[in-house]
Amino acid sequence: MSQKSSIIPPIEGKFNAILLFGPPGAGKGTLGKFLSSVGSHFHLSSGDIFRSLQVDSPAGKIFHKYALKGNLVPDEVTIEIWHYYVSGLIATNRYYPQEQLLLLDGIPRTVQQAKLLESHVTVKKIISLEVNDHHSLLKRLQKRALIERRQDDLDPKVFETRMSVYQKETADVLKQYPEEKIARFDGNLKPLEVLRDVLMKLSDLLVGKKSE
């Protein structure tokens, strides 16, 4: 991953982004898709990036080695794969950084990732979906697994590992940002209710407005 394809030009400047935070099953992906439709912004899930990797590719082998056990991919590798993917989105005219906010779902997940991301991203806001009921989160993931055929979401042991990682590492990432940039929402609500609350609170940033 250290050498980028010559057909993908280097990226200049930083991306304006909103970070989507919350434990596994909190609804980050659903909210991101809603917001991308409402404001014509670009929702990018790190999970979707990694799941799209070819299993026999170097990056794919690294990802699956960790993901199948519910562990995180090493930080430097995560950011490198992410940055390469975004370069491809720009090169193929799917993401327009001068016009769209980048809705980041699932990254950064560690303090080190947050630090590495600083050279690529200007964080405009952080949306934190807060759900404390682990049982309801597991049920959500298992329902999603049946719909999307994601086997890793079916195993309760993998879920517990992911929750442990989130509580020990990912939750600390929020401490890296000023409190005034964090908007907290009740993730126990139905998806459309969460969307309603987010739009009411952040409409100036999200609706019909190009990134600055």
Q: Give the DSSP letter string of 95-115.
A: --TTT--EEEES---SHHHHH
CA–CA separation, 19 and 91 (whole Å) = 23
Pairwise CA distance, residues 21 & 62, whole Å: 24
According to DSSP, the residues that pair with 200 across neighbouring strands are none
| DSSP character string of 6-46 | TTSPPP-S-EEEEEEE-STTSSHHHHHHHHHHHH--EEEEH
What is the predicted pLDDT for the residue at 49?
A: 87
The residue type found at 125 is K
Q: Which residues of 92-114 are buried (b: 16+ CB within 10 A; e: fewer)?
A: eeebebeebbbbbbbbbbbbbbb
Q: What is the rounded distance in angstroms from the CA atom of residue 89 to the CA atom of residue 116?
A: 20
Is residue 102 pLDDT above 80, yes or no? yes
Cα 145 to Cα 143: distance, rounded to the nearest angstrom:
5
Which residues, 6+ apart, have CB-to-CB distance to 47 below 8 Å? 29, 105, 106
- Model pLDDT for residues 106-152, shown as the tens digit of each residue: 899 889 999 999 999 999 999 999 887 777 776 777 666 555 666 55
- The fold of the 15-198 domain, in CATH, is Rossmann fold (3.40.50)
Classify residue 192 by burial, with Cβ atoms within 10 Å: 0-12, 13-18, 19+: exposed
Strands 182-186 and 15-21: unpaired
- Contact status, residue 63 vs residue 50, Cβ threshold 8 Å: yes
Q: Give burial (CB, 10 Å; 0-12/13-18/19+) of 204.
A: exposed
Could you give the strand order of the β-sheet that contains 42-45, starting from the edge strand earlier in sequence? Answer: 42-45, 102-105, 15-21, 121-130, 182-186
Q: Which residue has the higher pLDDT, 100 or 144?
A: 100
Sketch the domain layout of the chain as residue ranges.
Answer: 15-198
How do residues 43-85 score in pLDDT, each as one tens digit? Answer: 999 878 887 788 887 777 877 788 777 776 789 888 988 988 8
- Per-residue pLDDT, averaged over 184-193, amounts to 92
- Looking up tokens 């990694």 gives 50
Note if the bond before 74 is cis, omega within 30 degrees: no
